[in-house]
Amino acid sequence: MPRILIIDDDDGCRRTFKTVLEKRGFDILEAASAEEALDKFDSSVDLLLVDLVLPGMKGIELVQHVRQTSSVKVIAISGYSVYSPEPLENEFNVQSIDGFYAKGGKLRELTSMIDKVLEIEDGSDS
């Protein structure tokens, strides 16, 4: 199964995402900051699940940095409702975000988005 790197400074959110995605069979790496994510990121990572609001380097800066050398898939996450894909692309010139998930949404929406982004046919059996 694909490898997902979850980057979120909220331990509870990170644990929840990890638990749900491991049950689906994904190989999970975790980072609490963008800097930690850069240390863990390599070509074996298929998807970044990255919080936009992080201490230090922001999530969007991480995406911009990684996009210089990689075409890894990216789903941005945020608990702030002001963020959505269109303003992100306009404000940060990041067309490389493959999906956006608002924290507090249904986890099934996230897993469906991951299936779509990673082109997994039927995630219900995983």
Q: Are 75 and 50 spatial neighbours (Cβ–Cβ below 8 Å)?
A: yes
Predicted local distance difference test score (pLDDT) of residue 1: 86
Q: What is the pLDDT of residues 79-126, one digit of tens each?
A: 765 555 555 555 555 566 888 888 888 999 999 999 999 998 764 544
**DSSP code of residue 68:** T
What's the predicted TM-score (pTM) here?
Answer: 0.87
Domains and CATH numbers, the chain: 3-125 (3.40.50.2300)
Predicted local distance difference test score (pLDDT) of residue 125: 44
Predicted local distance difference test score (pLDDT) of residue 79: 79
Cβ atoms within 10 Å, residue 92: 15
Predicted local distance difference test score (pLDDT) of residue 86: 56
Predicted local distance difference test score (pLDDT) of residue 82: 52
What span, in angstroms and rounded, lies between the C-alpha atoms of 18 and 8?
A: 11
Most distant CA atoms of the chain, gap in Å:
38
What span, in angstroms and rounded, lies between the C-alpha atoms of 81 and 62?
A: 20
Higher pLDDT among residues 13 and 60, named by residue? 13
